Amino acid sequence: MKSQILPICRLVVLAAALCTTSAAQAYFVRPYVQLDSVVIDGFIQNGATQASVNIDTRASASVDLSTGETRNYLQVTGPGQFGQSAGVMGDRLSFTGASSTLDFSFDFDGRITTDDAKVGSELLQIGVWANLRVFDESAGATLSNWTSLGGALASDTRFLSFNDPATALDELVSEVLFGSFEFAGGARTVDVFASLSVFSAVNDNPVVVTMDFLNTGTIGVQAGPGVSFRSDSGVFPGSVTAAAVPEPSTYALATAALALLACSSRRRRREATRLCGAPKSA
């Protein structure tokens, strides 16, 4: 019996491994797909804020920090195949302003279908795993521990399974992960993470499993009036873009322009004085 459930256990381990790396936390996107032994990992940290990967038309994943979205698609055909499509994202957010409740959410929806019921002797296994975590910057949350680290300011997880359907499956999924904490006002920096993984192992079932989550999973942040935040990525939805610091050459040009305007103004005043003081003609 253990050998029958090994493929899906391997998939769950792989889903957890998506959160693992030794690099320091900043911001990142990580689309990931797998079909049997073929794996494509599109992990990017402190660089591009959008990435996409695919294995032909059967498995695709994209993550975009600027919209807070992960889009996933997987089609697994039996017997014997297993696969996964996942999207993981993270960013550091710095809040300033008045006291407020900070609400974090990650909503996702999709459609799971099979072209037949379970027909083999082994399990037909289908799963969806989603996570949302927010930590204070001092908590030490990293890409390698964020799904298991305690002390999160906001946390929610969803694990859904649709194993061994008695009839052909046509399941609509719509879920919202949610967490909040009280911001005392002033300034506070947090690390926020979200992930969505869809996976299936058909074992000896000659069944096609299609998991269409291209409609999207989306992260969001809500704060009260008088609160704003910036993100390390500079693109996280709702974050304020920091004003660009002028280059020294820009300062020099601005100073020269002001001096020119001042000289022009003085010339106009002298000219006006001369004309007003001139004797009128008879």
Arithmetic mean of pLDDT over the chain: 85
Residue 187 and residue 280 share a domain:
no
- Over 90: is that where the pLDDT of 12 sits? no
Residue 255 and residue 173 share a domain:
no
Residue 182 and residue 274 share a domain:
no
Spatial CB neighbours of 258, under 8 Å, sequence gap ≥ 6 = none
Q: Is residue 243 part of a domain?
A: no
Q: Is residue 246 part of a domain?
A: no
Average pLDDT score over residue span 75-101: 97
Residue 256: domain span: 251-282
Partners of 231 in the β-ladder: 93
Q: Is residue 78 part of a domain?
A: yes
Residue 107 and residue 33 share a domain:
yes
Spatial CB neighbours of 116, under 8 Å, sequence gap ≥ 6 = 168, 205, 206, 207, 208
Structure tokens at 214: 């291209």
Q: Is residue 236 part of a domain?
A: no
Residue 152 and residue 101 share a domain:
yes
Residue 197 and residue 81 share a domain:
yes
Residue 200 and residue 78 share a domain:
yes
User: Cα–Cα distance between 114 and 171 in angstroms, integer?
Assistant: 9
Residue 129 and residue 195 share a domain:
yes
- Percent of the chain scoring above 90 in pLDDT: 73
Domains in the chain, number: 2
Q: Is residue 244 part of a domain?
A: no
- Over 70: is that where the pLDDT of 228 sits? yes
User: Cα–Cα distance between 91 and 26 in angstroms, integer?
Assistant: 6
Q: Is residue 242 part of a domain?
A: no
Q: Is residue 241 part of a domain?
A: no
Residue 259 and residue 185 share a domain:
no
Residue 101 and residue 57 share a domain:
yes
DSSP string, 73-118: EEEEESSS-EEEEEEEEEEEEEEEES-EEEEEEEEEEEEEEESS--
Task: Dump pLDDT digits (tens) for 129-165.
Answer: 999 999 999 999 998 899 999 999 999 999 999 999 9
| Continuous segment of H or E residues that includes residue 2 | helix 2-17
User: Cα–Cα distance between 5 and 137 in angstroms, integer?
Assistant: 39
- Over 90: is that where the pLDDT of 92 sits? yes
Amino acid 251 reads: Y
pLDDT given at position 3? 36
Residue 275 and residue 218 share a domain:
no
Residue among 104, 68, 105 at smallest CA distance from 182: 104
On the 0-12 / 13-18 / 19+ scale of CB atoms within 10 A, 265 is exposed
Q: Is residue 237 part of a domain?
A: no
Residue 120 and residue 14 share a domain:
yes
